[in-house]
Amino acid sequence: MIPVDPVLMLAFIPAALALNLTPGADMMFCLGQGMQAGARPAILASAGISIGVLVHTGIAGLGLGALIAAHPGVFEVIR
């Protein structure tokens, strides 16, 4: 395993936090639903977005698994 350069990690962590804490389109949608219709629609919108992310991630993982199963050499490239 190759250790990560500490200077690179010090640059990566704030950038990653900024990207994760910045509200995106899905957060604005949930906020808009909450302001327009109340807490229940906002919670349902958030749940729908979360389920969509889970499905999308699962399908992407299955596709990557199928690619590696079909072409084992690809694993070395990805790794």
The first and second tokens of residue 32, run together, are 């808009």
Domain of 65 in residue numbering reads as 39-79
- The closest alpha carbon to 65, from 56, 75, 55, belongs to 75
Residue 19 counted as domain residue: no
**Predicted pLDDT at 74:** 86
Phi, psi at residue 52, to the nearest 5°? -60, -40
Task: Give me the amino acid identity at 61.
Answer: G
**Predicted pLDDT at 22:** 86
The first and second tokens of residue 45, run together, are 């919108």
Residue 61 counted as domain residue: yes
**Predicted pLDDT at 1:** 61
- The total domain count for the chain is 1
**Predicted pLDDT at 75:** 85
**Predicted pLDDT at 48:** 94
pLDDT lower than 50: segments of the chain: none
